Amino acid sequence: MKPYWAKRGFTLIELLVVIAIIAVLIALLLPAVQAAREAARRIQCTNNLKQIGLALHNYMTSVGVFPPGRFNSYIPGAGNCWGAYSQLLSELDQAAIFNSFNFNLAPDSTSSALANSTGFQTFLTPLLCPSDSPPVLINVGGPLFATHNYDLSTGSGYPVVQMPIPPLTGQPNGIFFENARISPASITDGLSNTVGITETIRSQASDTYANNPLGVFLVTGNNSTTGPPLNSNADYASLCLSLPPSTQQFQHTRGVRWHYGAPGHTLYNHLRAPNDPQPDCRGGLPFSNVANPFWGWMSLNIAARSRHPGGVNSLLCDGHVQFVKNSINVLVWQGLGSRNGGEVISSDAY
């Protein structure tokens, strides 16, 4: 006969204690695993921006200037408003996509969608941050368009255009504004003190101002026949912040159409700190098929945004990438957005 102790198994209490210990260990390990994965994603995002920086400098070596953030022929109804990334395709090892585009057609026209769909429906790996949700094509007026995660800076002010039409005033002081031709000599603040490109988050098809106000951007008019400019913080408050959650004056096209040059789609500015909790907004109308005064009213208050905890990755004009915290002093952030403001920015200020 076997002794009593040889028959003894786990009691229910002992089993529950073991399960509880395992659950505690998993709870302790899971955040560490998630943090490690996010660290890897952030490193990949940094590498993406470094690749874009290398492409920009190769372009600049060839042409002598950085590409403009937005082209505009200023032919009424035929602005042909292509963006900077459409010009960097060869430098990003995407010459086949560059050759597939017919640049005589507007990048935002539904009538030219079939001719250029091979290019604009292609997701470019260097333009996608892995911390954001999986990329999907977004419907804009019928055609489907690819998305991206890296916006170009127009500066620290409201204007996107060099010839603003009143009541819009001032000049863009960044790198990638409309019809810009910025050389290294024009960046008097120093290439290592001037941000050129920063992250954005991609809109989803289901986003609205009511259910995801930071996943979209507001517009100051009806997006077809009206679009007053943003010329001051007072304009931003009255034309944008005053809109109710139910408003239809929004676009779920943040980070959509990487080949197109327009606020929200590919352009942002440094008026507010990264991941600012207030909504973003665009003034004027960016479309290739409109005319002045809407082009001359092109303006924005669109913040940098990312899915990384605590801040955004930024590419400075010398090619190095810096993680900028959400808590950065807004005056320092504005100074980093200006190419010629003469701000003195300490290396430990961000």
Tell me the β-bridge partners of 322: 314
8 Å CB contact between 283 and 168: yes
CA distance 68 to 167: 24
Average pLDDT taken over every residue of the chain: 93
Residue 208, both tokens: 């609205």
Looking at 34-48, 94-108, 216-230, 282-296, which range is the least confident one?
A: 34-48
8 Å CB contact between 341 and 187: no
Looking at 9-18, 57-66, 177-186, 325-334, which range is the least confident one?
A: 9-18
More confident residue, 111 or 165: 165
Mean pLDDT score, 119-128: 96
Question: pLDDT tens across 139-148, in order?
Answer: 998 899 999 9
Question: pLDDT tens across 46-104, in order?
Answer: 999 999 999 999 999 999 999 999 999 999 999 999 999 999 999 999 999 999 999 99
Give me the residue spans of the domains in the chain: 30-337
> Among candidates 350, 184, 152, 161, which has minimal Cα distance to 267?
152
Residue 56 three-state SS: helix
> Among candidates 291, 282, 285, which has minimal Cα distance to 254?
282
Tell me the β-bridge partners of 325: 311
152-164 per-residue burial string, b: 16 or more CB within 10 A, e: under 16: bbbbbbbbbbeeb
Tokens 């890296």 label which residue? 150
CA distance 247 to 34: 37
Whole-prediction pTM value?
0.90
Question: pLDDT tens across 233-244, in order?
Answer: 999 999 999 999
Residue 240 three-state SS: helix
- pLDDT for residue 4: 54
CA distance 230 to 299: 6
Tell me the β-bridge partners of 199: 150
Question: pLDDT tens across 156-173, in order?
Answer: 999 999 999 999 999 999
8 Å CB contact between 174 and 304: no
- Residue 350, pLDDT > 90, answer no
More confident residue, 216 or 11: 216
Q: For residue 33, what is the DSSP state?
A: H
8 Å CB contact between 302 and 152: no
